[in-house]
Homo-oligomer: A and B are copies of this chain.
Amino acid sequence: MSDFTLNILGCGSATPTPAHNPSSQVIDYRGNLFMIDCGEGAQCMMRRMRLQFSRLGHIFISHLHGDHCLGLPGLLSTLALHEKRGCVTVHLPAEGIGIMRSIADYFCRETPFEIKFIPIKGAGGVIYESASLTVEAFPLYHRVPCYGFVFREKPKQRHLRGDMVRFYNIPVSSLHGIKSGDDYITPDGTVIANARLTTPADPSRSYAYCSDTAFDTRVAEAVRGVDVLYHEATYHSSMAAQARERGHSTAAEAARIALLAGVKRLVIGHYSKRYTDVGVLVSDACANFNEVIPASEGLRIDI
């Protein structure tokens, strides 16, 4: 596996079915785990998929409907019980802070495990940043305040050419700048172009999560060019009116967003319980976009 994977813990919708858990995913980026939504059963799926609790630092909740957040009470309670010295940060729409803090205060009160709640407000923006990754929240178009998330690797350093470094006898102190794109100036003042000293950086990868949302072209703007897009596909096109009315999308609409945004691959999920065979949703999406992957519990996708 690569060092940037998407793990599907649940991809059903509001009603649990024997086939699908409610929404939850875990991004594993270089061994650090980031959870996106936490439907009931998320902690059990983490155990089943061997995603270690101790590596989970941040949880991003899209909105406060039960199928996207009611695995949190159990997960936080388990974390507090078993990772006593740790800390987790939960990012969620501001309106949910009160109730989630009440739950955490009640069920995690006996341990020093720290739970931070950070509100997501207004238009979102960058809500997490490390040396190599950012997570950005952006508005979705559902019945309640709801956010999508984009995970983007920061631009990477160029690769040094060892033969050139030796040839020009470049000191270690200059290497960092050269990896960042600087030219090298020799002691006699000659400028050696960066392109002679390096090969291009690996591309920066990106992943976007959009659930729940009605079809809206502003979503395509927000996720433009990502490598992998997860977009909800609650219904088949034959139920487009119901999708719109309930603030959801059809599979064909998810594919239109993928096409408009120029993404490489589309993962669909958040299936209505009426679809016991998600093949009809895949077909619906494939009319608009070629690279469609149906989510399923336990699926891992390299970003």
Interface size class of A (residues with CB under 8 A): 20 to 34
- Please tell me how many copies of the chain the complex holds: 2
Interface of A is mostly: helix
Is A127 an interface residue, CB under 8 A from the partner? no
Which chain B residues border A73 with CB–CB below 8 Å? 40, 66, 70, 73, 103
Which chain B residues border A15 with CB–CB below 8 Å? 78, 81-82
Bound-complex Cα distance A22 to B44 (A)? 10
Q: Who on chain B is nearest to A82 by CB?
A: B15
Is A77 an interface residue, CB under 8 A from the partner? yes
Minimum CB–CB distance from A168 to chain B (whole Å) comes to 56
Within 8 A of B (CB), among A74-132: 74, 77-78, 81-82, 99, 102-103, 106-107
Which chain B residues border A99 with CB–CB below 8 Å? 102-103, 106
Of A17, A47, A74, most buried by chain B (CB within 10 Å of CB) is A74
Is A57 an interface residue, CB under 8 A from the partner? no
Q: A71-B40, A106-B99 are in contact. Are A47 and B16 (CB under 8 A)?
A: yes
Which chain B residues border A103 with CB–CB below 8 Å? 73, 99, 103
Is A41 an interface residue, CB under 8 A from the partner? yes
Which chain B residues border A14 with CB–CB below 8 Å? 78, 81
Is A189 an interface residue, CB under 8 A from the partner? no
Minimum CB–CB distance from A187 to chain B (whole Å) comes to 63
Neighbour of A40 across the interface among B48, B66, B74, CB < 8 A? B74
Query: In the complex the two chains form, is B40's CB within 8 Å of A16's CB?
Result: no
Query: In the complex the two chains form, is A74's CB within 8 Å of B78's CB?
Result: no
Q: Who on chain B is nearest to A16 by CB?
A: B44
Query: In the complex the two chains form, is B21's CB within 8 Å of A44's CB?
Result: yes
Q: Who on chain B is nearest to A102 by CB?
A: B102
